[in-house]
A = this chain, B = another copy of it.
């Protein structure tokens, strides 16, 4: 940490900072300039945080120079991680597509969507049974019935299942059906939920909050990692900005930025970020080209009948195009398209 003293700070003010840092077991280096003095701190940042140095007389600013996360940081773990979901890898050598309906509405709709997903190149099936909705009057999902449908479709198609959990009290239930637990954007700082999924023994897909900085996103991942679960995949899904031509603004730069700061895989959600069907394919191509490790895409057999986000779901006519992108672009980036395991393996893993 660096403490910048105000121009009017006295020698006693500077000394008070130095003394306080030392009392917390740290070391302080003082650099005196013509108009300002800067104090460099060495030691445990968490200890310094508790000192409230910013509140001391003569202190202008306290600047943190090291990251507030450790386990997910690339600093001490230079190799990028590979996370396995029901046997499917997500990491630096593959391009893994997760696809399916935004909400599970029926067994038939989910199965049709899964076959569409597989045709498009997806290895993993997504589908929401518990839906976090802005309005209490919107469709809230099928609950456990939806989880059972997902498990049935997994048995039929061989695709491991990714599904969202929104209540810490449901984590065990959802984990008993799913191969990967999704924490949604609105829950990225729901710390009780983060801790619960950190103890659930399943890989976690952590969506970036739509107003979270990359640093806050990695700090949220650290909550999960702290409970002993490092099987975390980060998902960029658009941030909230002033622009309203798209639902959110896909922060494409966040992919290389997060990959440089953390060893965890980073995937992109081109469906929710744009909120428009016509943007899904261009954003999918951009995500692969920027270096994303995977994608999560909405598909629906009948979008006009969808209970949730039908405007953005890919339909039959788009699937062939997505399949072509999925076959052409990953090799250009030195990646292999990840495939679902053989059906019998998936079934075996979930007796």
Q: Is the CB of B250 within 8 A of A243?
A: no
Question: Would you call A190 an interface residue if the criterion is a C-beta within 8 Å of the partner chain's C-beta atoms?
Answer: yes
With beta carbons under 8 angstroms apart, the residue of B50, B186, B290 that contacts A189 is B186
Taking the complex as formed, is A239 at the interface, i.e. its CB lies under 8 A from any CB of chain B?
yes
A256: which of B42, B46, B169, B282 is its contact (CB, 8 Å)? B282
Which residue of chain B is the closest to A303 with respect to CB atoms? B55
Min CB–CB distance A264 → chain B (angstroms): 16
- In the complex the two chains form, is B52's CB within 8 Å of A311's CB? yes
- A248-259 interface bits toward B, Cβ cutoff 8 Å, 1 = contact, 0 = none: 011111111100
What is the distance, in angstroms, from A69's C-beta to the closest C-beta of chain B?
7
Please state if A31 and B35 are interface contacts (CB–CB under 8 Å).
no
Q: What B residues does A251 contact at CB under 8 A?
A: 241, 243, 249-250
Q: Does A19 contact B (CB under 8 A)?
A: no
CB distance from A46 to the nearest CB of B (A): 5
Is A329 part of the contact surface with B, judged by Cβ < 8 Å? Answer: yes
| A282 to B258 Cα, complex, angstroms | 13
Q: Which of the residues B34, B209, B226, B304 comes within 8 Å of A52, measured between beta carbons?
A: B304
> Which residues of B sit under 8 angstroms from A7, Cβ to Cβ?
75
Question: Which residues of chain B have C-beta atoms less than 8 A from A132's C-beta?
Answer: 189, 191
- With A55-B311, A213-B244 known as contacts, the answer to whether A282 contacts B290 (CB < 8 A) is yes
A279 touches B257 (CB 8 A): yes
Q: Is A134 an interface position by the 8 A CB rule?
A: yes
Judge whether A277 is part of the interface by a CB distance below 8 angstroms.
yes
Chain B CB within 8 A of A273 CB: yes
How many chain A residues touch B (CB < 8 A): the figure is 106
Residues of B within 8 A of A323 (CB): none
**Option from B240, B245, B252 in Cβ contact (under 8 Å) with A257:** B245
Assembled-state Cα–Cα distance A169/B195 (Å): 13
Cα separation A133 to B240 with both chains bound (whole Å): 22
Residue of B nearest to A75 (CB): B7
By the criterion CB–CB under 8 Å, are A242 and B134 in contact?
Answer: no
Q: Does A289 contact B (CB under 8 A)?
A: yes
Binds B, one of A83-91, A153-161, A215-223: A215-223
Known: A33-B42, A252-B286, A256-B279. 14 other contacts (CB 8 A): A2-B2, A29-B29, A52-B303, A54-B310, A56-B304, A61-B65, A133-B191, A168-B169, A186-B191, A214-B243, A244-B244, A246-B257, A252-B283, A255-B282
- Decide yes or no whether A147 CB sits under 8 A from chain B: no
6 contacts between A and B (CB under 8 A): A36-B66, A55-B306, A136-B219, A211-B211, A241-B242, A286-B290
